[in-house]
Structure 1
Amino acid sequence: MLLALDTATRLMSLALHDGYRLHFEATWHTPNNHSIELTPAIQRAFAQVQITPADLAAVAVSLGPGSFTGLRIGLSTAKGLALAQNFPLVGVPTLDIVAYAVPAFEGRLVAVLQAGRGRVCAQGYRWSGPVSGWAPTGQAEITTWAALVDGVEEPTLFAGEIDDNGQALLAESTPLVHVAPGAWGLRRAGFLAEIAWARLRTGQTDDPALAAPIYLHQPGVPHP
Structure 2
Amino acid sequence: MKILSIDTSSNNCSVAVVDEKSMLGEININYNLQHSVLLMPLIEELLMRLDLKVKDLDALTLSTGPGSFTGLRIGLSAAKGLALGADLPIYASDALSILAYGVYGFSGILVPMVDALRGGFYTGLYTFQNGKLTAIMEPSILSLEEVKKKLENEERDILILGDIVDKIGEEELKFKENVSIAHASLNIPKASNIPYLLWDRIQSGDSDDIHSLVPVYMRKSQAEYEYEKKIGMLK
How big is the shift at 1:137? 2.2
Q: Percent identity?
A: 30
Q: Counterpart in 2 of 1:146?
A: 145
| Aligned position for 1:127 | 128
What CA distance in whole angstroms lies between the structure 1 residues aligned with 2:57 and 2:178?
45
> In the alignment, which residue of structure 2 is the partner of 1:193?
195
Aligned-residue CA RMSD (Å): 2.0
CA contact (8 A) 2:13 2:38 kept: no
Rounded to whole Å, the distance in 1 between the matches of 2:107 and 2:101 is 16
SS in 1 for 2:173: helix
Cα distance change, pair 118–163 in 1 and its aligned pair in 2 (3 A): farther
Farther-moved stretch of structure 1 (121-130 vs 145-154): 145-154
How far is the alpha carbon of 1:213 from its aligned partner? 1.1
Q: How many residues are paired up?
A: 221
Query: Contact 2:60 / 2:90 at 8 angstroms: preserved in 1?
Result: yes
Whether 2:206 is the aligned partner of 1:207: answer no
Q: Is the 1:59–1:89 contact (alpha carbons within 8 Å) kept by the matching residues of 2?
A: yes
CA separation of 1:72 and 1:135: change in aligned 2, threshold 3 A = same
What amino acid does structure 1 have at the position aligned with 2:20?
Answer: G
Question: Once the two structures are superposed, what CA deviation does each residue of 1:16-59 show, in whole Å capped at 9, x if it has no partner?
Answer: 11222211101121312211110111111011011111111111
User: Which string of whole-angstrom CA distances, capped at 9 and with x for unpartnered residues, describes residues 182-206 of structure 1?
Assistant: 2233322111122244321022211
2:61 — aligned with what? 60
Match runs of 1:134-173 below 5 Å: 134-153=133-152, 154=154, 155=156, 156-161=158-163, 162-171=165-174, 173=175
Structure 1 or 2, whichever has the larger Rg, is 2
1:92-103 counterparts in 2 under 5 A? 92-103=93-104
Q: Aligned in 2, Cα 1:105/1:190: closer, same or farther, shift over 3 Å?
A: closer
Give the secondary-structure state (helix, strand or coil) at the position aligned to 1:214: coil
User: Structure 1: which 5+ runs fail to align?
Assistant: none
**1:179 corresponding residue in structure 2:** 181
CA distance in 2, matches of 1:188, 1:179: 18
Contact 2:10 2:68 (8 Å CA) reproduced: yes
Tell me, what secondary structure is at the counterpart of 1:64?
coil
Which blocks of at least 5 consecutive residues in structure 2 are unaligned?
A: 227-234
Match of 2:231 in 1: none
Partner of 1:222 in structure 2?
Answer: 225
CA offset digits 1:145-190 (Å, max 9, x no partner): 233234322132212222141523113x221322222223332211
**In structure 2, C-alpha distance between the alignment counterparts of 1:66 and 1:186, rounded to whole Å:** 11
